[in-house]
Amino acid sequence: MISLNKWALKNPTVPSRPRISHGTMPGSAALKAHNMTTNAEPGLRATIRRFWQQSYGPDWLSLLLLALANLAVGLIEPFQRMFSLDDRTLRFPHAEIERVPVPMLLVYSIALPTLLIILSTLINPHKTREQKLHQVHVSLLGLAISLMLTTFITDTVKNGYGRPRPDLIARCKPTEGTPEHELVGVEVCTERDYHTLYDGFRSFPSGHSSFSWSGLGFLSLFFFGQTRAFRPSSDMCRVVISGLPSLGALLITLSRTEDYRHDIYDVSTGSLIGASVAYWSYRRYFPPLTSSSCNSPLPPRGRGNEQTYSKTEFEMIPTRPSTPDLEMGQRA
């Protein structure tokens, strides 16, 4: 195949395009010159484009929008699905005291991962100050996105599906003479506490399960990467220690069935949602767990990466050229 440079010699009127070899790193002279040209573009539109492509501003903006969306979803009344008083799966007792109340769930899923991520990063003697700050930033950003997105998905499905909880009839306190073998609605209930009654129609999926897995599951992924637990030479001790947060999420999940707030389908689906979102959010900022650089986040967006991060630390992370011209030159 004739390269673009040879083709340009035969066609002198067509300017040759910069060629980047397969082994060229982002710190090459050609890419540096291209970045300087891009960053020097004047105008508001160019400034917005640089901000959108070279900073974490869009991620924080998306996080803010998710927070506002969660507030809106929390104000929506759930769909009240019809039920029957002779349904034995809805006749479990209503536990006034939960094994893991909401305040403790927030401690386990938000405060604990935040604290451990910060401490484990700051005490790492193999990272510079700039690397530690970057790792703390993207780790907490990924954790926040995981929690917010999981909450939004879970609450949206809860309100839309309106599945009765296993303790619904105990919450409802139906009026005397209500037919036991017919489908009835929420109008037969005598419970006057709004939250107690309508929260009985938010069974699927389990919010405790999804939230715990989105927080503690993310923490396990973080530890798996920092300890390089999935590398070929890793020992089993790293896997066990890194998996402890996931064990905590599993115990929280099981507690919801012990309180008769959910059945196995609710907690299984909630756990799947939380774990999937946690993995997706983690991979936005960290390389694969099998990578030789899994203990370091992806390089910061924008300029100056090579001044803060050594080439060897990120040499296994592929970086695609940011312009079609450079891509064509690489394929030549």
Tokens of 134: 């970057």
pLDDT at 24: 45
Mean of pLDDT values over 237-248? 97
* pLDDT at residue 94, rounded to an integer: 96
Compute the chain's Rg from CA coordinates.
26
What is the Cα–Cα distance from 37 to 174, expressed in whole angstroms? Answer: 72
Residues 179-218 have pLDDT tens digits of 999 999 999 999 999 999 999 999 999 999 999 999 999 9
Greater pLDDT, 303 or 231: 231
Whether 208 is catalytic is yes
Helix, strand and coil content of the chain, in percent to the nearest 5, comes to 60, 0, 40
262 catalytically annotated = yes
The residue length of the chain stands at 332
Give the pLDDT band of residue 39 (cuts 50, 70, 90). Answer: low
Closest CA to 226 of 242, 206, 248: 242
DSSP 165: P
pLDDT beyond 60 at 20? no
Marked catalytic residue, from 34, 94, 134, 208 = 208
Long-range contacts of 90-94 (CB under 8 A, 24+ apart): 90/164, 90/165, 90/166, 90/167, 90/168, 90/169, 91/169, 91/170, 92/166, 92/167, 92/170, 92/260, 93/167, 93/170, 93/260, 94/167, 94/170, 94/171, 94/260
pLDDT for 51 beyond 90: no
Mean pLDDT of 12-38: 48
Is pLDDT at 2 greater than 60 in this prediction? no
Q: What's the confidence (pLDDT) of residue 265? A: 97
Whole-prediction pTM: 0.79
The residue ranking higher by pLDDT, 326 or 248, is 248
Question: Can you tell me the mean pLDDT for 85-110?
Answer: 96
pLDDT per position as a tens digit, 281-316? 999 999 999 999 999 999 998 744 443 444 344 434
Among 127-136, 219-228, 323-332, the range scoring the smallest mean pLDDT is 323-332
Quote the CA–CA distance of 273 and 206 in Å, as a whole number: 10
Token code pair at residue 152: 């939004």
What are the C-alpha distances in Å from 71 to residues 97, 141, 160, 281? Answer: 25, 19, 16, 21
pLDDT > 60? residue 139 = yes
Query: Around Cβ 194, how many Cβ atoms within 10 Å?
Result: 9
User: What's the mean pLDDT in 59-71?
Assistant: 96
